[in-house]
Structure 1
Amino acid sequence: MKVTVKIVAAAVAFACTMPVLHAQNRSTVRTVSPKEEKNELSVRAQSLYDKAGITEADIPWMRVIYRSVDLTKEKNMPLYYPEESMENQENMFRLIVRLMADGKVPVYEYLDGREIFTEAYQLKVKDVLDRYHIPYEEKQGRTSKTVTFGIEDSDIPTNEVLSYYMREKWVFDQRNSKFYPIVEALCPVLHRAGDFGGEAVKYPMFWVRYNDIKPYLSQQYILTNNENNVQHYTFDDYFQLRLFEGEIYKTTNLRNMSLMQMYPSDTARVAAQTKIENQLKSFEDNLWVKMPEQEDTDVKSKAKDKDSSDVKEEDNNSKKEQKATVSRSTRSSRGTVSKSKSSSKSSKVSRSSSRSASKSAPVRSVRRTK
């Protein structure tokens, strides 16, 4: 009897403590406020952008290209405008600074040709803001260890970031048999003049990995066309579709030299840039062995091109010959006309002379004598 009484008492006590445990669990779940959850990506949303990357064993060929994206050009203006935040639009540099200030995206030291994206080269947000004289206000985060920085919109120097450095990899993926470029990192470049004016000096600020900001870029829609004001594309679409215009200023080489250092003259540097672009375009065509049918079509197309060029040359030559014959005929006709005129003049002179001679000759009368 005593044992059964103890078991019943324990069951009653456990049943009484269950609602209290449920209430405590509910209170712990609701500790995060809706304001803190704003602009946060869930684990499921981040998993949509996490793809199984290719390994080094799948890449038998790769070339690293550095480009300079000038925001003053028309194709690159979607990255710069609007300068001030609007309802559904925002400047890309402003977006990157906010992500950096909130501690959502790490940034790394700018090293010319030696980009290392590890914790050893990760920059502190406070050091970046102090280095480029951007006012901020320190805020305590959710825990005592995390600190965020509040920056006013007017203090972000969006009007001075007029270009970006882009590091991209052109990769041949033998697993998928594809050749494509991968945007690896972006570096905002600050164009800031001195206290006494003059030409603006470029200051590369920091590197940010594209995969870190890709989930946020894919949620920000931009205006890419002045004639069509519907926002079809995001920042991520803009880079994946390669709607930008970037000038090659460097490729990875043994001496770690830029094209400006290797080719001081403008003509040689432009020729080197076009050569690199042509190499990237023709690399994929040279990978595969063409089928006989494709070779025949290529030969026919080349023959057609040659025939068309020959026909054009013949037409040009015939036109030149016609012009030459016309000019000759006009010259010869002029000569015959002058000759006919001279002959007619000579005939007129001979006739007039004969007439005058006949008039001036004496007339003799012969009288007959008986």
Structure 2
Amino acid sequence: MTTLHAMKTKIFVILLLAATAQITYPQETARERIEQRRQAEAARSSSTSQYNISHSEDELTYILENSRWSRIIYRYLDLSKPENSPLLLFTKIFTLLQNNEIKAYEYLDGQELFTEDYLINFTEFTERFGIQSTDIPLDEVQGYYLKEVYYFDTPTSSLRVTPLAICPIIQRFNNIEGTTRYPLFWIPYSEIAPHAKQMPVMLSPLNNSIRGTIDDFFRARRYNGEIYKTGNPGSRTLSQQTTTPEELKAEQERIEQELIDFEKRLRQQEVSQSRPTTPRSVGNTRKSNIVGTSQQTMRTRRY
């Protein structure tokens, strides 16, 4: 009787342990699944954030890493200048933002961070600037900041200029500071480019037959914008590096001239490389040289 009771007790303990194991194993597996899912979501989130960082700056990063020479330029495009009159695109930008069709990023002094952390919220943005969603402040938008990169394109041995981002600027007046510029937000040009290609404009106020799109306007550099900053380690504006309006103007003109001279040198190299080489005559070298010199002189006189 005692032996039978001991056997029953043993069987009961074994069954109890088996049941406990069956219960515990699924619970551990579920916890593991939850943890794995959490880690996967975190990895996806990190990957997405990294993609957003690299996607917005991908073109610039590629250019800086693969060009023998490059320079980042920041300009202010004043809409009161006739050359910039085609830039009537704020209504389009405002509508696209309102419909969540493009991304815009906070304007930060000294840097542009196109990451999820700095995405603007349209509602918060309109409230901050006192803008009604049904009342687009066209009259207040007086210009744009433009970030562009000049670089030497090695495959074509030519100077290229690529727009990188634009920032609408509104001007408001108050009794204390007078008229003040307020940058609204940065938009990577890659965000606006597909829409800019579908916006027809007259590209020249002097020749109405020259037509194209807003994208053509940017790509062909038909705008007129003063330089207010260049890429530099401290991200300082030109006004921070100069002390008088005259010094500021001189620095702007110096940088513009450097860009023009660099482009001229490249074009001169292209012309010299494209000229056919005249084979030297094996015959009467002296006579040939005299004739050649005479012909060259006549060309010079004629032109």
* Structure 1 vs Structure 2 CA RMSD: 3.0
Residue 186 of structure 1 and its aligned partner are, at CA, apart by: 0.4
- Closer, same or farther: CA 63–228 of 1 in aligned 2, 3 Å: closer
Residue 70 of structure 1 and its aligned partner are, at CA, apart by: 0.5
1:238 maps to 217
RCO comparison, higher one (Cα < 8 Å, 6+): 2
Q: Are 2:115 and 1:107 equivalent residues in the alignment? A: no
What SS is found at the alignment partner of 1:239? helix
Q: What TM-score, normalized to structure 1?
A: 0.53
Asked if the contact 1:107/1:122 (under 8 Å) is kept, the reply is yes
1:158 maps to 138
Residue 175 of structure 1 and its aligned partner are, at CA, apart by: 3.0
Amino acid at match of 2:73: I
Structure 1 residues 290-369: aligned runs within 5 Å: none
2:262 maps to 283
2:192 maps to 213
Determine the C-alpha separation between the residues in 2 that align with 1:217 and 1:122.
Answer: 21
Unmatched 5+ stretches in structure 2: 1-57, 277-295
Deviates more, 1:223-232 or 1:70-79: 223-232
What SS is found at the alignment partner of 2:139? coil
Aligned length: 218
Determine the C-alpha separation between the residues in 1 that align with 2:180 and 2:76.
Answer: 15
Q: What TM-score, normalized to structure 2?
A: 0.64
Residue 202 of structure 1 and its aligned partner are, at CA, apart by: 0.8
What SS is found at the alignment partner of 2:102? coil
Determine the C-alpha separation between the residues in 1 that align with 2:177 and 2:237.
Answer: 25
Residue 174 of structure 1 and its aligned partner are, at CA, apart by: 1.5
Over residues 96-125 of structure 1, what are the superposed CA-to-partner deviations in whole Å (9 max), with x where a residue is unaligned?
A: 000001001000011223111121221111
Structure 1 residues 45-60: aligned runs within 5 Å: 55-56=62-63, 57-60=65-68
Unmatched 5+ stretches in structure 1: 1-51, 80-90, 137-151, 295-299, 306-370
What SS is found at the alignment partner of 2:193? helix
Determine the C-alpha separation between the residues in 1 that align with 2:178 and 2:233.
Answer: 32
Q: Are 2:185 and 1:188 equivalent residues in the alignment? A: no
Asked if the contact 1:113/1:252 (under 8 Å) is kept, the reply is no
Among 65, 73, 80, which residue is 1:65 paired with? Answer: 73
Residue 92 of structure 1 and its aligned partner are, at CA, apart by: 0.5
- Closer, same or farther: CA 98–283 of 1 in aligned 2, 3 Å: same
- Closer, same or farther: CA 99–278 of 1 in aligned 2, 3 Å: same
Asked if the contact 1:67/1:250 (under 8 Å) is kept, the reply is yes
Amino acid at match of 2:224: E
What SS is found at the alignment partner of 1:268? helix
Over residues 200-259 of structure 1, what are the superposed CA-to-partner deviations in whole Å (9 max), with x where a residue is unaligned?
A: 211100000111111111111123455666682211111111111000011112232211
Structure 1 residues 171-182: aligned runs within 5 Å: 171-182=151-162
